[in-house]
Structure 1
Amino acid sequence: MLLLVLSALLLLFCNLDVWYFLRGVQVFVEAWFLPRIEDILAEQSIDGMVLPHDLDYLGHMNNSRYLRECDFARFHHYMRNGLFMASRKLGAKMVVGASTIRYRRSLAFREAFQIRTKVLGWDEKAFYLEQRFVSKRDDFVSAVMLCRQNVVGSSPESIIEFIYKKQVSGFKHSS
């Protein structure tokens, strides 16, 4: 029986990126139990560390892992400020429409970092976010990502009105 369970686990790990799903569950549970942030423009942060599966052949964090960590940080951000639940209740989906990232200094193995996420503004179709990777070693900004998060099936304005229970006049652009 134990051999069967171990074989099934090996099959799962070989065919699915199980760590991705486990990390997603961890982010969801963590955000669920933290207090809600009332200001959707407020910067929020999530902690991370460069682990062996994040490394590329040069021994620093792989470029694709930065994007993956940004996904988790955005999800955490949306859970805390109510955007996730509001979009679900309105039947909307939020998908990355565009992103650009600037790498300033690589993150090394076992280096602790914070991803600081904030909504910069929105228009009739999308939210615009900035995400910064800040090394906990020396508070250096290692990478900066700008992201356009398209809203499909609704609008950013409708989601914000749903959260705050009042009408938003015009479109909000913040810097």
Structure 2
Amino acid sequence: MFTCWVLAGALGAVLFLYSLIDVHYFLRMFFTVIFAKFCKKPAHILDETTIYGLCTLNDIDTLLYHMNNARYLRELDFARADFYERTSLYREICSQGNGVVQGAATIRYRRFLKPFTMYKVTSKIICWDSESIFMEHKLITPYDNFVRAIAICRQRVLNCNAEAVMAALLERGVKQNGTVDGITQVTHVRPQMTEEVAKWLESNDISSANLRGPQNVQVITTN
């Protein structure tokens, strides 16, 4: 009888948790970070990292034949967590400031993912300024190497300078690579902002101006 009550209590606790929070999300995030920290090699801040996923029945939309559009953006959270951990980006930001938030994101869907299709998400930094770090993510199916979706995300750093954060990580990468037994150290060139990103930022600025509304509007009256 006692065992039945224990099992019923455990089941009730699980149901209660699932009713309050997205348990799968937090569990997967936890294991993503642990796996990146202990099972994967560290990556240079300008390297491209990769995680893998599978489109399950939890991911499909109401039409029941492809991944829900929102799930693509959700997958980017796990890809960024893997990237942050392997490159020490998040630790460096926190050592200089108070963290990082997603400032903006745009995604282009090119071809849908069917249920039970395996995919990979690649992540890399494409440029940065004093306030933000810009990342590009690609969701690719390995069997045909087709880019199913591509996203650009703006990571705003809080109470620190993104230039200083990147400079510290780039310097650390040079020291770690170094020159050993006559082998020339690996160098990474800072990427320039592409026209695509520049135009995207311009559209964001236009959107911000529209949301703020007209300023200093002069009203002209006639007699």
TM-score (norm 1): 0.91
Structure 1 CA distance for aligned equivalents of residues 191 and 133 of structure 2: 10
Based on CA coordinates, which of the two structures has the bigger radius of gyration? 2
3-state SS in 2 of match to 1:40: coil
Which of 137, 145, 150 is the matching residue for 1:139? 145
* Alignment partner, residue 17 of structure 2: 12
Greater per-residue strand proportion: 1
> Within 2, Cα distance between the matches of 1:173 and 1:134?
23
Hey, what does 2:107 align to over in structure 1?
Answer: 101
In the TM superposition, what is the alpha-carbon distance from 1:152 to its structure 2 partner?
1.1
Match runs of 1:19-168 below 5 Å: 19-33=24-38, 34-37=40-43, 39-59=44-64, 60-163=66-169, 164=171
| Worse-superposed segment, 143-152 or 155-164 | 155-164
Percent identity of equivalent pairs: 36
2: CA distance, partners of 1:31 / 1:85: 14
What is the TM-score with the length of structure 2 in the denominator? 0.72
Give the length in aligned residue pairs: 169
Gaps (5+ residues) in structure 2? Answer: 1-5, 174-189, 195-223
Counterpart-to-counterpart distance in 2, 1:149 and 1:46: 19
* Bigger RCO of structures 1 and 2 (CA < 8 A, at least 6 apart): 1
Amino acid at match of 1:107: L
Tell me how large the CA RMSD over aligned residues is. Answer: 1.6
2:33 is paired with a residue whose SS is helix
Distance 1:58 1:139 in 2: 25
SS in 1 for 2:121: strand
Q: Secondary structure at the match of 1:52?
A: coil
**Corresponding residue SS for 2:134:** strand
Greater percentage in helix: 2
Aligned equivalents of 1:74 and 1:103: distance in 2?
19
Distance 1:150 1:88 in 2: 12
8 Å contact from structure 2 (residues 93, 99) kept in 1: yes
Q: Distance in 2 between matches of 1:2 and 1:162?
A: 52
SS of structure 2 residue aligned to 1:141: strand
CA distance in structure 1 between the aligned counterparts of 2:140 and 2:108, rounded to whole angstroms: 13
- Between the aligned partners of 2:140 and 2:58, the Cα distance in structure 1 is 20
* Separation of aligned partners in 1, 2:128 and 2:168: 15
